[in-house]
Amino acid sequence: MANQEAGENPIKSEGDIVTCRKLIRNAAVAAGFGMTDVTRIVTAVSELARNVYVHSGSDGVMRWEILHQPGQIGIHLEFEDYGKGIPDVDQAMEVGFTTAGTMGMGLSGVKRLMDDINIKSEVGVGTTITVEKWGRAK
């Protein structure tokens, strides 16, 4: 059976965060990402899935897709929730900014770990964060 190259997973519980991590670890390894990139990608998944669970006050979903370019492999991840939204996205991206008394390193960390991050958020409607990472195809 061919490796699955796209899918989605709900984010409704602590356990779903673990499932998201495992799913993306397997998909990234199968796609041919090196272990350093796999670790970066899984760390980003952890932070973004946890943010949905902890901050949104609502359910969410992770969608993922493996991308192909000549000589390159990529992964596209989307985290969507239907929660309270982020009033000031630039502020939320700052190192150390948190509304939960935690580290406030999640979003700034994800920006460093991934090649691209895009945040769309509307207060009272929800948040969609997409990230992308590219690596050399084996």
Sequence-ordered list of residues with C-beta below 8 angstroms from that of 44, at least 6 positions apart, any chain: 77, 109, 110, 113, 114, 131, 133
Using the minimum distance from each CB to ligand ADP, give the nearer residue, 34 or 57: 57
Touching ligand ADP, residues 51-90 (CB under 6 A): 51-52, 55-56, 81, 83-84, 86
Q: Does 9 bind ligand ADP (CB under 6 A)?
A: no
For residue 131, which phi and psi values (nearest 5 degrees)? -135, 155
Of positions 6, 18, 30, 100, contacts ligand ADP by CB under 6 A: 100
Alpha-carbon span 99 to 72, nearest angstrom: 38
Alpha-carbon span 47 to 17, nearest angstrom: 9
Using the minimum distance from each CB to Mg ion, give the nearer residue, 106 or 135: 106
Using the minimum distance from each CB to Mg ion, give the nearer residue, 38 or 49: 49
For residue 65, list its beta bridge partners: 6, 76
Touching ligand ADP, residues 107-136 (CB under 6 A): 107, 127
Q: Does 16 bind ligand ADP (CB under 6 A)?
A: no
User: How many residues line the site for ligand ADP (CB under 6 A)?
Assistant: 21
Alpha-carbon span 30 to 48, nearest angstrom: 22
Q: Shortest Cβ contact with ligand ADP: which residue?
A: 106
What radius of gyration, in Å, describes the C-alpha atoms of the chain? 15
Query: Which two structure tokens, joined as six digits, stand for 137?
Result: 């195809």
Residues in contact with ligand ADP by CB under 6 A are 47, 51-52, 55-56, 81, 83-84, 86, 92, 97-100, 102-107, 127
